[in-house]
Amino acid sequence: MSGTVSAQEIAERLLRADRILILTHEKPDGDAFGSALGFQSFLRSCGRNADALFPAALPRRFSGFASDFLTTLTPAEIRAAYDLVLLLDCANPARIGAGAEFNPAFLSTFEFLNVDHHQGNCIEGAFNLVDPSAAAASQLAAEIALASGREIRQEAATFWLFGIVTDTGSFRFSNTDGRAMRIAAELLDRGADLERIVNAVYFSKPRNQQEFEADLLQNHVRSAFGGKFVYARLPDELFRRHGFDMRDGEGIIDLLREIDGSVIAALIYSWNGVQKVSLRSKDAAYPVGPLARSLGGGGHAMAAGITLESDPEQVERLLLEQVGTLLKKQMN
């Protein structure tokens, strides 16, 4: 990737700028949320004018953490207010969570920094720090802040630890390594509030979500290939019945991944007229990242996603074919 730079160089460019806009991907998860608001907090503490933009509603579990952020901004307003754009945790131009007009061609008219940890990132910023060996974009954000030599205050440390905790499944997933743990320790040393994070992520589930999950497990789970592939198609009626929104659905797929004997798990659901597929693997011999990328999606080896313009039945058949091929290939 052209324009590849180090954490130190990203830090220097951020601190040379005065007016910084922070973007991330659509449907922000804990890492997108944490990396963006952590950088907003950090840069403001360094005396910079920094704003994070989240045009859509945030997941409910983030509401107790969310400091002020922007919800609407036009391209004209960006031109008037900012001279640098920082994009975090986004590997695909189509997933930039600020609207179709916020494409790389438009963003390249600014000083445009791209910081991400996804394999196959195809966004070309003027300066890129794309490191798939990092557990989370929030980890990279913290490393950039540490490289700057500036103080990391409690608020930024808490946001970044939130991102690392959620993207590693509280250090349960295979992306956890010594580097991620050392950065987490650095953030704890700077006052990151782990108790607050754990309560938000694990001990604040609304009753309607619990009922949604029970209904999903009882009525919508299917399996194939001797139970190695476990998946669920989530009809619109399921969401309506329980008043549940998949913006609050981070971690739902783990209900399937937890099933004994499963190797690959998938969720299929409709979103704005297309089909969304979340994929997880719990065996490195069966990576789902390459499968997702072959169908126009992306993500990590063990956690990936796809957007398909098709109907749920066709998506189910396609997944059964692709997952079956993957399982058979590895078994041979």
For residues 24 and 4, give the distance between their C-alpha atoms in angstroms, rounded to a whole number.
19
In this prediction, residue 163 has a pLDDT band, given cuts at 50, 70 and 90, of very high
Q: Does some domain include residue 88? A: yes
Do 92 and 131 fall within a single domain? yes
Q: Per the structure block, which two tokens stand in for 21? A: 């806009």
Do 176 and 227 fall within a single domain? no
Element (H, E) at 271: strand 264-271
In this prediction, residue 331 has a pLDDT band, given cuts at 50, 70 and 90, of low
For residues 100 and 98, give the distance between their C-alpha atoms in angstroms, rounded to a whole number.
7
Do 182 and 216 fall within a single domain? no
The least confident of 7-11, 192-196, 230-234, 299-303 is 299-303
Number of structural domains found in the chain = 2
Q: Please write the tens of the pLDDT for every residue from 63-121.
A: 888 878 999 888 889 999 999 999 999 998 888 977 767 777 888 889 999 999 998 89
Do 160 and 294 fall within a single domain? no
Q: Does some domain include residue 1? A: no
**Neighbouring residues of 226: CB distance < 8 A, sequence distance ≥ 6:** 261
The enclosing domain of 194 has a CATH number of: 3.90.1640.10
pLDDT reported for residue 332: 52
Boundary of a domain, candidates 160, 186, 202 = 202
Range of the domain at 307: 207-331
Q: What is the mean pLDDT of residues 44-57?
A: 94
Q: Of 328, 325, 323, nearest to 265 (Cα)?
A: 323
Q: Does some domain include residue 2? A: no
Boundary of a domain, candidates 140, 167, 202 = 202
Q: Per the structure block, which two tokens stand in for 108? A: 């390249």
For residues 233 and 103, give the distance between their C-alpha atoms in angstroms, rounded to a whole number.
31
Distance of CA 253 to the CA centre of its chain: 14
